[in-house]
Amino acid sequence: MSRIGKKPVPVPDGVKVQISGQVVAVEGPLGKLQWEHRAEITTAYDQEAGVIVVSRDNDERQNRALHGLTRALIQNMIVGVTQGYERRLEIHGVGYLAAVQNNVLQLRVGFANELQVPIPQGIDVAVPDQQHIVVRGIDKQAVGQFAAEVRALRKPEPYKGKGIRYMGEQVRRKQGKAMVK
């Protein structure tokens, strides 16, 4: 049995859970999320105990994998509507900067033109200073996806370390050809 899948998901106070068929809807202080799981997995909400129990029909390989995945995604939904998720990015490079204007993230990262990245709905992007970007939201997947897309616009390069990186990310540096002799 899946170690992750068999653990019940605790539901904190102030969070409403509705399960109808395969659709799990979670509503909390920060917002509302809805997700439809696969038919091989069943979910049940026990209001007295305040937990969501995830179970599977049989022990086929795919069902075992979906069991833990379903439980983890429901847990992420509950954490998202209560605490939210956040990814921080930092920009390294002379003249590199970021700004937010009219729901568009503007980046100057060494290209001839300024990059304009539209911010998707449900994601909040803040720029406390020109070298830092903070991506927040209630959907863990959407926050991580947007942060990865922004980072991919100018990945940190290995010689000088210039580019966009996650906060605290270590960039492996190379010596360059001048150090070969």
Q: Which of 52, 39, 40, 42 is nearest to 7 (CA)?
A: 52
Q: Is the pLDDT of residue 180 over 80?
A: no
Query: What is the rounded average pLDDT for all residues in the chain?
Result: 93
Q: Is the pLDDT of residue 132 over 90?
A: yes
Q: Is the pLDDT of residue 126 over 90?
A: yes
Kindly indicate whether the domain formed by 85-166 is annotated with CATH number 3.90.930.12: yes
SS3 97: strand
Instruction: Write out the two tokens for 156.
Output: 């940190």
CATH 3.90.930.12 intervals, the chain: 9-82, 85-166
User: Rounded to whole angstroms, what are the CA distances from 57 to 3, 39, 67?
Assistant: 16, 9, 10
Torsion of CA 125, 166, 173, 116, to 10 degrees: -20
Pick the CATH number of 9-82 from 3.50.30.30, 3.40.190.10, 3.90.930.12, 3.90.1150.10: 3.90.930.12
* Tens digit of each residue's pLDDT (9 = 90 or more) over 81-121: 999 999 999 999 999 999 999 999 999 999 999 999 999 99
- Start-to-end CA span in the chain (Å): 58
For the chain, counts of helices (H) and of strands (E): 2, 13
Strand extents, DSSP E, the chain: 9-10, 16-20, 23-28, 31-36, 41-46, 51-56, 85-92, 97-101, 104-108, 115-118, 123-126, 132-137, 163-166
Sheet holding 51-56, edge to edge: 9-10, 51-56, 41-46
Distance CA 30, CA 165 (A): 27
* Tens digit of each residue's pLDDT (9 = 90 or more) over 46-71: 999 999 999 998 989 999 999 999 99
Q: pTM of the full predicted structure?
A: 0.90
User: Are the C-beta atoms of 92 and 155 separated by less than 8 Å?
Assistant: no
